[in-house]
Structures are given as structure tokens and as C-alpha cells.
Amino acid sequence: MTKKLKKRLYRILGGLALFVAALILEGVVGEQYPNMVLLAFLAAFFVSGGDVLKKAAMNITKGQVFDENFLMMIATVGAFLVGEYPEGAAVMLFYQVGEWFQAYAVNQSRKSIRELMDIRPDSARVLRGGEAVEVAPEEVRPGELIVVKPGERIPLDGVLEKGETALDTMALTGESLPREAGTGDEVISGSVNISGVIEIRVTKEFGESTVSRILELVENAGSRKSESENFISRFARIYTPAVVILAVLLALLPPLFLGGNWNTWIYRALSFLVVSCPCALVISIPLSFFGGLGGASKSGILIKGSNYLEALSRAEVVVMDKTGTLTKGNFAVSRIVAVSSDERLLELAAYAESGSNHPISLSLQLAYEQRSGKKIDTARITQMEDTAGFGVSAMIDGQRVIAGNLRHMEQNGISCKAAEEIGTVVYVACDGDYLGYLVIADEIKADAAAAVRKLFATGVRDVVMLTGDREETAQAVAREVGISHVYAQLLPGDKVDRMEALMQTRNGDGKLVFVGDGMNDAPVLARSDIGIAMGGLGSDAAIEAADVVIMTDEPSKIAKAIEISRRTLRIVKQNIVFAIGVKILILILAACGMASMWAAVFGDVGVAMIAILNAMRVLKVRGQDG
């Protein structure tokens, strides 16, 4: 609990003690010493509500008259003037209890955001002149080496130059399991080094680092208000002056024109003012959205503002890129079809392709090294020839090996049948004999199919794939993950055109969501109703253009983001209907003399507390999967 919350709690407890003492005093000597009773209730009133009176007076001098402090001051002071001392003191006391719960709720909702803000590094230990020097992260330049000890947070993005470790990325990605990292691996700022002293070669300045980008997103999220929040702000500006005017008319007109009792009608007007405070809406609605943003961040989902959180709840069509979103974006050997030996086929293909840095060649080399546990021995290769667009040929251990596409086999007189496979097929022959083929394909992410199912389960009407890949490959991936609408072989401009056509199919205020990760996705992300960037380590341009950033590479988090947004909006609507409904009912009853000031206290403080407790439910992220 913060010092401010403790101070307010002590004030409430002191006021409560004095209020109870005043009630006892009233019961014992009330008729004999009325002035003493008045002083006792005044003491309880000023101890519990002195700060409210001070704020009201200061705001009046600034021209900010119609706020809740002013309403409480008029209502409670008025209660004392008409002789209702217990009501005046009690209203102020219970109002302060409600304010304490509001402050506590806001403090709790900010906790997850504060935890995220703790990823900001205080310093970096940089190697200069053979010594480790502690400097501000902003002073470290790309190319310099920094040292990070176990238990310390990595201050800047870079590549692991020396050492091996496990990294805790929970604060960034919501992922509870540590990530292993070895020499040559990329590491991101904000991660915690769990084991071993490591040296990192810095690749980005602090202002461009992952941690800096995240902090900027979090700090700016609160400035983008939702439609509901803007409505409540406008509502409060009109509503508060209106109820003050109605209360004045309620106090004056019946006694002047109908011969009513002044005290009776002033008391009704004061009860009217107490219940009219709009704090249940003004506090609980922003608190609900703030809780939604915090709950999403716990799951590794950064939403750039309440407006995007609200828009996401109306997601109707989800359009997804293929590479890097549904697939891993890296090529791997998915199948080996050998005439005799799989191991021999893979070995010769890897050696033949070892002189190239093409992704297909690298995937063959990696597969060989992983399966055999051996490194490629270049001494075994005596001659190598690369035919662009066809394949390679090489002399390996004195044997002529040919690897490439079907046309390359035909050019070299090798007889083989075309393989009907999805992906890139590499055929291999040795000394004129056909050995078989290998299929290289982009791997589908483990949770891609589950992600599509979850999207439909949230009520999304359609999931569409847009990709620049070949039609056959795109259709194969779509079938595996459960997407029926596919548009393939698209350039970045074509994606924008296709997405704009899809936007015309939306119903009412439904929204179109685009999910991508690459540089060429930035234009589509910016054009969509809601753009979601996959992976905190994805393209800077995509993350900048997106409205929502999924810090992991898990497409299932898209459905999680929609679920959080819809749950947040349900709670917001519940609070609006409940608060306005109860207040209108008690306002009518108070005006008719059927509700006392105690009922008015419930209409204000009680409703506010119930709405705030309801708003705090957003912080609990159900089914959180890290």
C-alpha cells in the first residue's frame, strides 16, 4: 500500500472513531448539550473530509466549479445547516471510503504496468580499454561489448558474443519458461540473464532497442482514449451542472410556489446532489480499460491505447499474412525420399550446397549437422559449380554430385520422376545415378491451427490469408490450419487492394484486423482497422505501424487479445447500465421524498464501489498461457 493510501486510510479511521463517539454522545446528552453534539459531528466531518473541502475551494478559485468535490461540499455543509448532523458527517465519511477504494483499485490496476516499466535498465557495463565501465545505456554505441552478470537485466539489444545462458523474458513476452541462448544468438533488452556471465555485442542504440520501444508503447497507451471514455467525459461535463441546477430548483420552487417546508425540500435537494455524483462512471470506465491494457500486457500483448482495445472487441474479419505469422519464416527439411539411404542422400545434398548462403542451402546444411552431429568438412570437396536457377554440381570424395531442380536433372541426363510435393524440391544424383529428393518447406507454427479455431470460437466471422507465396504452397498451409479463403502471389500493393476489398464486406461497425510481421506488411498494417504485429523481435516498421504488438510469435495470442477486449467491453457496459440505472432510480425517489440521504449515499458511494470492484475483474486474465 502506498503512503498516500495509508494517509487517507488513517484519516478515514480517525473520522470513523469520532463519528461513533458523536453518535454515542448524541444518544447520551443530545437533548442537554446540543452544541456539544454539533461540535462532535463537526470534528468527525472535518477529520474525514477536510481535504475534500480544501479541494473544492481551490477548484472554485480556478473556475472548476462543477466537480464531485463541489457536490459533496454543498451536500454535506447543507445537511449541517438544516440540522441533519449525522447525515452530513456520514455522507462525507462514506464518500471518503469510496474514494479510498477507487484509489486502491487504480493502484492495483497499475501494478502490472509498473512491473513492465521495471524493465528499464539503470546502467550498462561496457568494455572499454580492457576494463568494464558502468555507463548509462544511452551512452553505449552499436558495436561495443557489454558484460551482463547472472541476475542482471540485459540493457541493450545485441548478439551473444561470449558465454551461454538462459534468459527470463517473462516481463516482455509473458512466457514463463526461460529461453536458452548461446554464442551468435540474438538477445533482447529487458530480458534477465539467469545463469553465467555473458558478453554481448550491441546492435542497436538504446532509443531503438526492444525495451525502449516497449516503454514508449506503454507510456503512450493511456493517451489514446476509447469512444466510451470520451462519451463519459462529455457526459460528466453536461450532467454535473444539470443536476446542480435541478437540485437548486428542487430546493426553491416547491416552498415558493407550493407552500412546501423549506427544510424538507432543501434536504431532498441535498440528497439529490449526493446521489448525482458521477464518480461511479468517471472512475470505473477508465479503470476498466486500464485494467484491460494491464491484463493484456501480462499475456505478452501490448495494445497501444484504449481506443484500439475497444475496436478490437468488434473484430469481425481477421486477415493474416502467411510467412512469419502462421509459419515460422525459416526453411527446414520437411521430408527425405531416398532410393536407398536417407543419411547418404542428405549428406551429399548438404555438401553439394555448402558453398551457398541461400536459405534452401543453409537449411540442408543445418539438417545434416543436426542429424549427423558432424560439421561439413570442406576438404572433401574439390570442385563446385553453381548454375543459377537450376542447381549445383560438385566433386565430393572424387564422385560427381548433382543437386537442384528437375530441369537441372534433365540437363545432366538424369532420369527421375517429378515429385508432387508442397515446398521446394531438391533432387540429388551421384555419378549419374539418381539418389532421391528432399523437400524444403517453411514450418507451420505449432499453435497456428489452434489459433484459427480459437478465432472462430470468439465469434470472428471469417479468417483470410494473404501471401506473396505460390498458390500451391499457400493452399497447403491454409488447409492444414483451417483457413478457407486464400489469396496468393500478392505484392505489397496487391495486399492493400485485396484488404480494402475485404473491408467492404464488413457488417455495421465490425472491424477488419490484419496480422503480419514483416517489412512489407507495414502498409497493410497501417491501412487496416486494427493492425497486429507478430513478435517483439519482428520488423521495426511493422511494430511502428501496428496498433497491437504480440511480443511472442504465437498466433494463438490474437484470439487472447480479442477475448480480453470483449471481456473489458462487457464490464464497461455493465457498469454504465448499472450506475446510470441505479442513480436515475434514486434521483427520482429523492426528488419525491421517498429516499433519505442514506439511500443517496448508497446511490453514490455504494454504486461506485460495486462498479469499481466489477472493473477490477478485468485484471484477472482467464486461461493465461504465459
- Phi, psi of 328, deg, nearest 5: -75, -15
Which one, of 216, 251, 115, lies nearest residue 171 by Cα? 115
d(C-alpha 381, C-alpha 393), whole Å: 11
pLDDT tens string 32-81: 888 898 999 999 999 988 888 888 888 888 877 667 777 778 878 877 88
Please give the pLDDT value at position 626.
39
* Domains in the chain: boundaries: 3-114+223-289+567-619, 124-155+157-203, 306-326+445-546, 329-444
* pLDDT of the residue at 625: 44
Specify the pLDDT at position 339: 92
Give 101 or 325, the one with higher predicted confidence: 325
Q: What is the 3-state secondary structure (H, E, C) of 566-607?
A: HHHHHHHHHHHHHHHHHHHHHHHHHHCCCCCHHHHHHHHHHH
Given this model, what pLDDT does residue 280 score?
65
Q: Give the C-alpha separation, 446 to 212, whole Å.
A: 30
Question: Half-sphere exposure of residue 355, counting CA atoms within 13 Å on the CB side?
Answer: 18
pLDDT recorded at residue 622: 53
Cα separation, 535 vs 552, whole angstroms: 5
pLDDT of residue 484: 87
Mean pLDDT, to the nearest integer, of 242-255?
A: 86
The mean per-residue pLDDT over the stretch 136-149 comes to 91
% the chain with pLDDT above 70: 86
In this prediction the pTM is: 0.67
**Do the domains spanning 124-155+157-203 and 306-326+445-546 agree at the CATH topology level?**
no
Question: What b/e sequence results for 267-295 when a residue is b if at least 16 CB atoms lie within 10 Å of its CB, and e otherwise?
Answer: bbbbbbbbbbbbbbbbbbbbbbbbbbbbb
Cell numbers that stand for 362 in this block: 543453409
Is 321 designated active site? yes
Q: What pLDDT is recorded for position 337?
A: 94
> Are 543 and 568 contacting, i.e. CB atoms less than 8 angstroms apart?
no
Give the total residue count for the chain. 626
CB distance 128 to 186 below 8 Å: no
Q: What is the pLDDT of residues 371-404, one digit of tens each?
A: 999 999 989 998 888 887 788 999 999 999 999 9
Cell, residue 175: 512466457
Angle between helices 262-276 and 68-81 in degrees, nearest 10: 160
CATH no., domain 124-155+157-203 = 2.70.150.10
- Considering the domain 329-444, what is its CATH architecture? 3-Layer(aba) Sandwich (3.40)
Task: Give the model confidence (pLDDT) of 104-125 as tens digits.
Answer: 766 665 555 555 555 667 789 9
Segment 332-361, tens digit of pLDDT? 888 899 999 999 999 999 999 998 777 788
Measuring CA to CA, which residue among 297, 285, 310, 230 is closest to residue 614?
A: 285
First to last CA, the chain: 27
Report pLDDT digits (tens) over 262-317.
888 888 888 787 777 766 666 677 778 877 887 787 788 888 888 888 899 999 99
The reported pLDDT for the residue numbered 28 is: 85
Report how far residue 515's alpha carbon sits from residue 495's, in angstroms, rounded to the nearest whole number: 12
Amino acid 623: pLDDT: 46
Mean pLDDT comparison of 255-264, 311-320, 539-548, highest-scoring range:
311-320
Mean pLDDT along residues 589-594: 81
Q: What is the mean pLDDT of residues 574-579?
A: 86
Which is the catalytic residue, given 67, 157, 321, 553? 321
Query: Among 360, 356, 359, which Cα is nearest to 378's?
Result: 356
Block residue for cell numbers 478490437: 312
Mean pLDDT to the nearest integer, 417-429: 85
Report whether 615 contacts 287 (CB < 8 A). yes
What is the pLDDT of the chain when averaged over all its residues?
Answer: 82
Closest listed residue to residue 204, CA positions, set 126, 153, 137, 152? 137
Highest mean pLDDT among 23-32, 243-252, 323-332, 337-346: 337-346
| Residue found under cell 507478430 | 534
The span from the CA of 77 to the CA of 56, in Å, is: 12
**Residue whose cell numbers read 555448402:** 354
- How far apart CA 174 and CA 164 sit, in angstroms, is 22
CATH class of 306-326+445-546: alpha beta
- Residue 494, C-alpha cell as written in the block: 496487391
pLDDT, tens digit, 9 for 90 and up, residues 212-235: 766 665 555 455 556 666 666 677
